[in-house]
Amino acid sequence: MATMEFTEWIRGRTDAQLRALVSARPELITPVPAHLEGLASRAGSPSAIGRVLDRLDRFTLAVVETLAVRDGPVTKDELRELIRAALAGADPANALATGEAGSADPEPALSAALDRLYDLALVYGPDDALDLGPGVRKLLDDPAGLGPRAVDAFRHHAPEQLDEMADDVAPGTTGSGKERLAAALARPAALIEQVSPEARGALDQLVWGPPTGRVPNARREVSVASARSPIEELLARGLLAATGEETVALPREVGLHLRGGRVHRDLLAVPPPLEGAARDPELADRTAAGQAFSFVRSVEELCERWSVEPPGVLRTGGLGVRDLKRTAGELDLPEWVTALVIEVAHAAGLVAAGGGVDGEWLPTSGYDLWRVRGTADRWTALALTWLSMDRVPGLVGDRDERDRPLNALHADLRRASAPGIRAATLGVLASAPGLAPARDAVLERLAWEQPRRRGPLREQLTDFALREAEQVGVTGLGALSTHGRALVEGGDAASVLAPLLPEPVDHVLLQADLTAVAPGPLTSELNRWMTLTADIESKGGATVYRFSEGSIRRALDAGHGGEELVSMLARHSATPVPQALSYLVTDVARRHGRIRVGTTSAYIRCDDPALLDQITADRRSSALRLRRLAPTVIASRSPRAALVDSLRAMGYAPVAESLDGDVIISQLESRRTEGLAPVRAVASPNGLDPEVAAAAVRALRAGDAAHLARREPVDAPAGQVPRGPATATISALQEAIKQGVRVWIGYLDSQGNATSRILEPARMEGGYLTAYDETRAAVHRFALHRITGVSGL
């Protein structure tokens, strides 16, 4: 009956209310049910109820639990008094006993909570008969920390044992043992007064939950007269029910009595206040913008470095510990920050596994598209990826349940709850503008907002979200930034961030000690060129680059000429090019490429025989196993790459050449792979696109109208089935289609038996008749050659 009432209540909701329902619970229309009866049935399924209960705050969940404790519908006034007694500040001594439950007022929070529960279809009915939707009571085990009802707690006891217990606690009453015991426990005051203080103390430990405990030999047979211990006193009187061999439960009626009729205690109708340090909004925004800029540059530097020296992919997947440490040193970042940079770059589709059989972590072609965008747009793409990805970089370095290390980029770093926790954490920060809430205050607020989702993992993921938000640049000094708020609320975060970012500069200051100082963030192209030509010596407000023979040779290996390097330095320097730097570039360029290394395994070729004499005479070359083939050629058994590296270590400047004698140029951007599509922002679990919701409601209404308009099958007329010539049958059917009237036909089934059918013919084509079969209450196609005859009705 309750299910039918709930279905009719759903059917009576307005389109706007149905849109609110499916928007808040999108799982109900995945896929869209055929009609509203199907929607009501799906809303009462355990999985759907569990999902929506997980989204309720502590006060709204308390309203549901209060209704679940009651056996049937209650009035709003009764519910208000129950909630009033549970609010923090209510006087327990007067609660529900005198009708003056203290000064705490549950309004307007109660009305708002009921409105939300109506929208979620967890509560239905008028104000004088509020009730929970089907399946909600069944799913709520131990609501508000209360145990099972007495009839459920004692359902596994033998009838003879229940009769003996009822005779002890309710002598002279009639009925079954279970009924008499349940009636006695409905008013347990007298039974509680009979037990010892020790037994009463045991009850007090179970009053506010959990309502279960462990007791050896819980199913022992004991009577009031034979009870010797406090536990036996309670078992004999039914104040504790044995639910297993070693488990006992406090019946719900006893728990409510001990609570003074209250379902909850110290309930908060509003979220707990956030405590923390006040921050200047402008300072927080500038700090967050600086972090955002640094994070973008870290991702860019990571991709550039991995273009040249990509780390390998482990056989189990992921990035090796040594590679993580090396990358952290190159980026000058802590390992946990480096893991965050790597994971976000991977989730954004900028880094992926590729490069052959063994595999290497390489930038993707998407990186080239990302790096040409503005800094604010690049940060927005990274921040949205961080917010919506299900990977947890903070777990890098921990160990799994098999005591194996969790490496960066490993598949085991996925946690389905991570995006929701990040969004919830930032939502807490958004509720307190200009405040950097303390960690405990954030956890307390989240526990109030989603009390069913508590646990150690949630606390850990919240800690990760807070520190990562600071590192990514969503927060500044612990407070949510203006561009961070735009990101969370779906606004244009890039346009908010852009004015806060430092303007890139297109020049450096060259100094006589072979260093260059970048007075600010360089433009993307100049930054890449400087990273190629010089080594970063220090970072900060100004970046210091140092030129060396190795860095100049790196630029020459990439295809730049000596004169081109000097020209670029002169064009992008605010100071004259120092003579020492000009000499360094000229000298390295003059010696660069005089020696050529090919493949024999490898060979050395040089137009200057004296230089080859010098190489063969050098003791350091003995390990290369060189052999002179001609005045200008030396062969070696070492691989070409190893030979080039060895000669450079000896102080020479060789270049590699191809089989055709052409110089092999090492381009930084030459290493790319095709990666997976970047992570896309997923729809909020508490929202749905309005157009999708409206279309779903229209489909539900149309399907429900068709469902209600369906006709019940009718009985076929008695007597012989119609029979007649085929031509007369077809003519009669064509006339029935034209007139839109019903006909009575005879039809041969697959076994050749003649059956009677009453039809509403619709069309006739291809040897078949399509008609509504009233004897089956469905639309069917009938083969014309099987119709024996037609008769009018």
Per-residue pLDDT tens over the stretch 550-598: 888 888 887 788 888 888 888 888 888 888 888 888 888 888 877 777 6
Q: What is the pLDDT of residues 482-498, one digit of tens each?
A: 999 999 988 899 999 98
Distances from the Cα of 211 to the Cαs of 137, 153, 190, 284, in angstroms? 17, 12, 21, 47
Residues present in the chain in total: 793
Place of tokens 């000596």: 562
Query: What is the 8-class DSSP label of residue 657?
Result: B
Quote the tokens at residue 605: 């070729």
**What DSSP string runs through 192-247?**
HHHS-HHHHHHHHHHTTS--EEE-TTTT----TTT--SHHHHHHHTTSSEE-SSSE
User: Rounded to whole angstroms, how far apart are CA atoms 496 and 638?
Assistant: 57
Highest mean pLDDT among 112-121, 215-224, 231-240 belongs to 112-121
The angle at the Cα of 472, spanning 468 to 478, to the nearest 5 degrees, equals 65
Tell me: pLDDT of 181 over 50.
yes
CA–CA separation, 10 and 700 (whole Å): 11
Judged against a pLDDT cut of 80, whether residue 678 lies above it is answered with no
Which pLDDT does position 389 carry in this prediction?
93
Q: Any residues with CB less than 8 A from the CB of 139 and at least 6 apart, and which? A: 46, 49, 50, 53
Q: How confident is the model over 652-659, as a mean pLDDT?
A: 80
Residue 284 pLDDT: 93
**How do strand 778-783 and strand 768-773 relate by DSSP bridges?**
antiparallel
Name which of 226, 261, 257 is nearest 97 in CA terms. Answer: 261
Domains and CATH numbers, the chain: 2-141 (no CATH), 150-258 (no CATH), 276-500 (no CATH), 509-568 (no CATH), 594-662 (no CATH), 726-792 (2.30.30.100)
pLDDT of 755 higher than 50: yes
Question: Average pLDDT in the 88-98 region?
Answer: 47
pLDDT at residue 102 above 70?
Answer: no
| Chain mean pLDDT for the chain | 85
Paired tokens of 773: 């079969």
Residues 6+ apart with CB under 8 A from 371: 300, 303, 378, 524
Of 299 and 619, the one with more pLDDT: 299
Residue recorded with tokens 């993707």: 364
The residue written with tokens 């083939």 in the block is 629
Distance CA 79, CA 82 (A): 5
Contact 21, 48 (CB under 8 A): no
Check if the beta carbon of residue 501 is closer than 8 Å to that of residue 289: yes
Residue in the block written with tokens 């697959």: 750
Most confident residue range from 21-25, 165-169, 315-319: 21-25
Q: Which of 121, 51, 133, 44 is nearest to 452 (CA)?
A: 51
| φ, ψ dihedrals at 104, nearest 5° | -65, 130
Mean pLDDT, residues 606-624 taken together? 84
User: Has residue 776 got a pLDDT over 70?
Assistant: yes
Output Rg (C-alpha) for the chain, integer angstroms: 40
Query: 539, 544, 569, 541: which is closest to 555 by C-alpha?
Result: 569
**Per-residue confidence band for 355, with pLDDT thresholds at 50, 70 and 90:** low
User: Which tokens go with 250?
Assistant: 């406090």
**Which runs of consecutive H residues, i.e. helices, occur in 506-548?**
524-533
* CA proximity to 485, closest of 436, 531, 426: 426
Backbone angles phi, psi at 195, to 5 degrees: -85, 165
Around Cβ 505, how many Cβ atoms within 10 Å? Answer: 15
- Quick check: 736 and 790 in contact, CB under 8 A? yes
179's tokens: 């009924």
pLDDT (tens digit, 9 = 90+) per residue, 248-295?
Answer: 999 989 999 998 888 888 888 889 989 999 999 999 999 999 999 989
| Model confidence at 445: pLDDT above 90 | yes
With a cut of 80, say whether residue 708 has pLDDT above it.
no
Q: Which residues does residue 759 pair with via DSSP β-bridges, in sequence order?
A: 743, 773
Question: For residue 653, which of 606, 599, 603 has the smallest C-alpha distance?
Answer: 606
Exposure on the CB side of residue 369, measured as CA atoms within 13 A:
10
Q: What is the β-pairing status of strands 247-249 and 212-214?
A: antiparallel
Alpha carbon distance 614, 466 (integer Å): 61
Is residue 475 scored above 80 in pLDDT?
yes
Apex CA 98: angle with CA 94 and CA 103, to 5°? 55
Q: Is the pLDDT of residue 90 over 70?
A: no
| Partners of 480 in beta bridges | 475
Q: How far apart are CA 73 and CA 295, in angstroms?
A: 56
Span of 274-288, 635-649, 650-664 with lowest mean pLDDT: 650-664
Beta strands 241-242 and 754-765 are: unpaired
pLDDT at 322 over 70: yes
- Residue pair 204/197 in contact (Cβ under 8 Å)? The answer is no
Distance of CA 24 to the CA centre of its chain: 17
| DSSP per-residue letters across 654-673 | -EEB-TTSPBPP--GGG--B
Cα–Cα distance measured from residue 67 to residue 287, given in angstroms and rounded to the nearest whole number: 48
Please name which of 228, 223, 225, 257 lies closest in space to residue 238, comparing C-alpha atoms.
Answer: 223
pLDDT band (50, 70, 90) for residue 339? very high
